[in-house]
Every structure is written in structure tokens, then in C-alpha cells.
Structure 1
């Protein structure tokens, strides 16, 4: 298998290298005449506009020159993309407010910084364009001329007064020496052609990129940083909210359940203590009832602990924990749990919590006869899906049983969606990073 794949990969890489060489060459060769055109047109328009500012005519000339600079800048951004192998963002150009008058709309480009950057690029771009053009033309002619010297050497007239370069260097004056010398030069230029052409193209392209898209790229990076900051802030707030909600719920459940049972247990044991001397049989009945209360309290505490971090989830993983969770459900659950290996602890805990809360909601409110739980790994992450055939009408809005899931999933860096039409059926999907 290796012997059949490697040549294909090598061929593809060589093809990309030569394709890039062609892209870089045409970029530089076309950039030189474009640089001459833009410097003549823009300098002329700028000089005329500034010179005639004392009259009304100067302003329209400057505006027209700036619009021409925008057009050439748009063309240049399109040309830069293949060279830099990236898409350059289109910059923001200032626009007149709706309802602005003719002169205000006309003069808006004069106050636009990017338009002046486009004009500056058009005026001074001939400097890097000329440097790049000289290197590219020299290396291409050196490589082609040296490697094809045997095809054209005979056409050069020679006489007693003509001295070849090999003879001046003391290498000899024979035809073989001359051909070998020029061929060696051609090989040198051919071997260094790709890096030299690539460097010349990058010199010209990076110069244009800095002036034509530098501000736009900076704005994009700032916007991405702000978006990332906002996302991190929202995730932190969701984590705090989810933690607060979970603690309040745990506190309420403990207060309404085990705490009340323990208070009753203490009262029963106190009554039994008083009954041991006067009515032993009643005391034994009270102790038996207290033992029953103790068992129920322990079971309720175990149930509450499962909502935090069940031991089976920590010890055996998500598949085993969900299987145990489905076994305790009062609604039949169909599981589709492929072998996915261990996941980060936060992801497993969140997935378990989503399924546990969803199954609780199904048992309490959906009147479903069947439920399905699915785990699936994809390019987006881990997909956790809980579906039922109940009455529908579930909601993630505040005040509903599933509201806390949104903050829990967001805190883990995921997204939660709910489809629950009133005519029946609910589908809850959580996408978690994995």
C-alpha cells in the first residue's frame, strides 16, 4: 500500500509547487505594468485635485481619483488571495447617511481613511513591484537561457575582438567550456527559481496586504477577540447560574425530603425511649417504623447523590451510568450507546445530567409510553438525544423543568435544543465538545 500511495502524494505536491510558481510569476509580471499605470493615473489625479481645490472642480477630481483607487485596490485584493493562499477581508468604506445631500454624498470618500490608503498603495506600489519584477525576470531568463544555451549559442556572432565570459574568468575559450559554463549558470538559476520567485511575490503581496487590508484584518481580529471574550463570559455566567440552580435545588430537595424524615426519625426515637418502660410493644413498633424511615432516607439521599456525580459514572463511564439510569426509569427506555471510550469528566457529567433530567421530565409530565436515548460522536462533538412519544409542549423557558439544562450545557461549552410540538412527541438534543 505504501508503494502505491507515496508516488501519488509526491506527484500532487510537485503539482502544487509548480502551480504556485505559475501563480507567483503571473502576479509579479502583471503587477509591474499595473504599478506604472496606477502611479501615473493617481499622481495626475491627486495633483490636479489638490491644485484645483481653490475651485469647485478640485473636489470632484479628488473623489474620482479615490474611487479609481478603490477599484484598483479591489482588483489587487483578488490577485493577492492565490499568492498568500488566504481570503482577504473586504474593508469598510464610509458611506453617506440616508437622505444626505449631493455634496455630502460626493465628499464622503474624502473623509474615509481606507480610500486614502488605497490611493497611497497605488502611488508607491511601483517600488516593490519593480524590485520583484527585476528579480523574477532575471531568474526566469537566467534559468531558461542557461538550460537552452545549446539551442541559441550558434546564433551569436563571434570574431577576434569578441571575448566570452569564461575566457575573461580564465576558464578557457573552447566551445565546450562556454556551453558548460552557461549550463551551470542555468542550473543555478533553475534550482533557486522557486524560492526567489516566491520571495519576490510575497514581498509585493505583503506590502499590498498591509495597506489594502491591514485595517480590515485588525478589525476582524478585534471582533473575534470580543466575540471570544463574550462567549467566555457567557459560559462563565452559565456555569455560575447552573451551579447556583443545582445548589438551590439540592438544598430544597434535602429540606423537603431527608431533613423532614430525619426530624420525624428523631421524634419517633424520642417517643420510643419514653415508651420502653410503660409500653414495650408500642416502643418496638415505633423503632420498627423508625428503621423504615431510615431506609427511605438513605434511598432518598442516594437518589440525590446520583444527580451530582454517581459513582458508576466515575468508575465505569457514561455508557454504564446511562444504562443504570434507564433501568430505574418508570418509562421504558431504548438505548443506542455505541462504544465511545472515556470522555472528559465535565462532558460525561453534563451528558449524564441531561439524560437524567430529561427522563425525570418524561416520567413526570410527558405521559409517554416509550423513550429513546442516543449517543453519537460527530465532527461537531458529542450528540446526546432524548426522544419520547408523549404529549409534547415542553419548553426551555424560565419556570419550566428543563430550564436549568440550558445553563448546564452552556457551561460545558455546548448547545441545547428542544423540539416539542403540542400535538405530541419531544426531542431534546445536547451538543457537547468532545
Structure 2
């Protein structure tokens, strides 16, 4: 039995959709307004620091300040996104682009500065320090003054809703912008999928040429030699036929290996859970598998996640120097999630190998993501998420060739 796996490290992606809720009541709206008034000071300080650091960045002095300002600015902006979502009773996404997993803080700063949402955050700060402050301050004053209680009761909610819409105008992409980004993402993932498919076809061609085809050519030559020796040396012909039979078995094994690389029969027969358990049993490192799926994903998604998990487990066996590994497979909120972890030495860098990058491209074709958390000393946690629905447990995909 493997040791219980340590707690999963948090993924490196930004949080998803904020939970949708009913619009807040008047007293809660006033509490939100009071919080926004209090946030005027840190917003002002951050805005000034951005201006100063941007000026000093010309001399490189301001670059470390900018690096430190990014998480603080986004934390403040995210707080106001959540407040606006609660005021309006809507779900709001945190729309920042994912940071590159490698390349150091300079590469991350470049990605931040290239993100349009960074500049929208700065524009929002200016609006929050002026119009936003006035709206929130009026809301608080209307409740504090007894004579204006009736005005607060009727005008308060529309006033805070206007403030929330103003915040989301800056802090959230419009529908048109989201569609444009979606088109861009689909264009990139389609190109990556085409490249991956071309590389896979070249691999299959190479495997067939160097494996089964070479053995079949040797088989044909041996049978030809056996035919020529049949009348003069039947014993030699018999040996050649025996050797040809062995070559036939090897060619069949090569063909089966190629077929397994296209779509493993165990995946078609047992589904994703059974296929992953089969891979885990072949590992030299003990692997604990916890799979809780209520059905089967679409066949292309199932294949992509299977090969992703198999690649991660192969890396555990080759590089992790681990004593235990684990796989957690679940489906919630229309998202299939596979987590592969190990208690090895950590320090895994996806940029150093092509396997994980290939898995990331394969998942991206289905709007999936892959994140790696691997501090020095471990544990290493690889999280794969793919949006999909599950079919009925009684529904099975048609099997490919055995």
C-alpha cells in the first residue's frame, strides 16, 4: 500500500467564475460602500506607485517595484470585482491572462504588461478614486444622516448598482472582447492541434517504416530464400520458414504497439478509470488511484487525458526519484480534472522536455489546461482540467482495432 498523498498544491491558474448569487440587500450594499471608501487610500497609493515605478523603470530601478505592485493591484481589483458581482447578482470572471510557467520574473512582467487587463486596472483606479468614491461616500452618508434615510432606502440600490457597473466596465471584458479573445484562442489551439496531428502522423509513419515494414521486408526475403532452397536443401528451407514465422510474430507485435499509440484497446474496453489503473499497475513506483467519475467523457477527451496521465506517470518513473505517486480523477461543474502527484524531489520544469508540452497542446485543443506545481524538495503536482460532459455509465465508446 502506498502512503497517503500529501495535500494537493494549489494550481497556478487564476480562479474561475465567481459564484452567482442574488443581489445584496440595502444594509449589505452600504457595508460594501463603506469598504470601498476605506479602499480609497490603498488604491491611491498603488496608483501613485505605478506612476513612480513606471517613470523609474526607464532607469531599471522601478522594475522590481512594478513586479511587487502587480499582485497587490490585482488583489485590490479582484476584491472590487467580487463586490460588483455581489451587488449585481451576476457571475464575473477574473480575466487576467495566465502567466508563463517559466522564464523568470522578467518574462512574467512582460506578460503582465502585455495583458490589456493590466491597463484597464489602472484606468479603473482613476475612476474609483473619483466617481466611484463619490458614489460610495454618498451611500454611506445617506444612511448616517437620519433625515436622508428615505432617500437612502430608494436611491441607495440604484446608486450602488451604477457604481458596480462602472467597476465592471473597466474590470471585465465586454461580450465583443470576449468573443474576439475566444476566436484568438481557437485560432492558436487549432494551429497547435494541426501541428500535433502532423507530428503524430510522422511518428506513426516512422514507427511503421522502421518497425513493421522492415520486419515484413525481411519476412518476404526469408520466404523467397526458403522457396529457392526448398528443392535442394529442405532442412535449410525449414529453418528459414521457422525464422520467418518468428519475424511474423515480431511484426505483429510492432503493429499492435503502433495501434496502442493511436488508441489503446484498454481505454476503449475499460474506460478512463480502468485504463489509468492499468498504467498504474505497470509502474515500479506504487501509485494510488482515486477515480470518481459518474460516466465516460467524449472519446477524444478521454484519449487526451489518458495520454496526459500516462506521460506524467512516465516522468515520475524516470525523473522524480519518488517513493509514492497518486492520481486523482474527478468530474465536477462540467470539468474533468486529473491530478497526478508524487513525493519525489520536485523541481520539475515543463520547458525542459517535450512530453508535457505535447500534453498541454493536446489538451488545449479541447479548451483544457495543464499546470505544474513542483517546488524543490517536492511534491510535484500536475493538474489537468478539460471542460466536458460525461455520458451515461451504461454508454460505452466503440472499440478501435485490437
TM-score normalised to structure 2 length: 0.52
The change in CA–CA distance for 1:336 and 1:415 in structure 2 (over 3 A counts) is same
The change in CA–CA distance for 1:203 and 1:323 in structure 2 (over 3 A counts) is closer
Unmatched 5+ residue regions in structure 1?
1-15, 26-78, 96-113, 123-135, 141-196
Which structure shows the higher helix fraction?
1
The change in CA–CA distance for 1:383 and 1:282 in structure 2 (over 3 A counts) is same
Cross-structure match for 1:224: 178
What SS does the corresponding residue of 2:288 show, helix, strand or coil?
Answer: strand
Cross-structure match for 1:342: 295
Cross-structure match for 1:385: 340
**1:60-114 Cα deviation digits (max 9, x unpaired):** xxxxxxxxxxxxxxxxxxx99886456999783899xxxxxxxxxxxxxxxxxx9
Cross-structure match for 1:92: 123
How far the C-alpha of 1:204 sits from its partner, in A, is: 6.9
For the 8 Å contact 1:418–1:428, the answer to whether it is kept is yes
Cross-structure match for 1:352: 306
**406-415 vs 253-262, which moves further:** 406-415
For the 8 Å contact 1:351–1:384, the answer to whether it is kept is no
Relative contact order, CA 8 A, sep 6+: which one is greater?
2
What SS does the corresponding residue of 2:351 show, helix, strand or coil?
Answer: coil
Cross-structure match for 1:310: 264
Q: Does 1:374 align with 2:374?
A: no
TM-score normalised to structure 1 length: 0.49
For the 8 Å contact 1:355–1:373, the answer to whether it is kept is no
Cα separation, 2, equivalents of 1:254 and 1:262:
10
Matched ranges for 1:384-403 at <5 A: 384-385=339-340, 387=342, 389=344, 395-397=349-351, 400-403=354-357
Picking from 396, 410, 417, the partner of 2:372 is 417
The change in CA–CA distance for 1:84 and 1:414 in structure 2 (over 3 A counts) is closer
The change in CA–CA distance for 1:80 and 1:399 in structure 2 (over 3 A counts) is closer
Picking from 221, 230, 233, the partner of 2:187 is 233
The change in CA–CA distance for 1:268 and 1:90 in structure 2 (over 3 A counts) is closer
What SS does the corresponding residue of 1:317 show, helix, strand or coil?
Answer: helix
How far the C-alpha of 1:353 sits from its partner, in A, is: 0.6
Picking from 267, 279, 301, the partner of 1:325 is 279
What SS does the corresponding residue of 1:335 show, helix, strand or coil?
Answer: strand
Cross-structure match for 1:432: 385
Matched ranges for 1:136-155 at <5 A: none
How far the C-alpha of 1:400 sits from its partner, in A, is: 4.1
Cross-structure match for 1:20: 25
Cα separation, 2, equivalents of 1:206 and 1:294:
75
Q: What RMSD in Å do the two structures reach over aligned CA positions?
A: 5.0
Cα separation, 2, equivalents of 1:426 and 1:295:
43
For the 8 Å contact 1:91–1:215, the answer to whether it is kept is no
How far the C-alpha of 1:334 sits from its partner, in A, is: 2.1
How far the C-alpha of 1:279 sits from its partner, in A, is: 1.2
The change in CA–CA distance for 1:426 and 1:258 in structure 2 (over 3 A counts) is farther
Cross-structure match for 1:152: none
For the 8 Å contact 1:239–1:408, the answer to whether it is kept is yes
The change in CA–CA distance for 1:411 and 1:86 in structure 2 (over 3 A counts) is closer
Cα separation, 2, equivalents of 1:312 and 1:383:
18
How far the C-alpha of 1:215 sits from its partner, in A, is: 6.0
How far the C-alpha of 1:374 sits from its partner, in A, is: 0.8
Say which one has the larger Rg.
Answer: 1
Matched ranges for 1:121-270 at <5 A: 216=170, 220-270=174-224
**1:137-187 Cα deviation digits (max 9, x unpaired):** 79x9xxxxxxxxxxxxxxxxxxxxxxxxxxxxxxxxxxxxxxxxxxxxxxx
Equivalences, count? 274
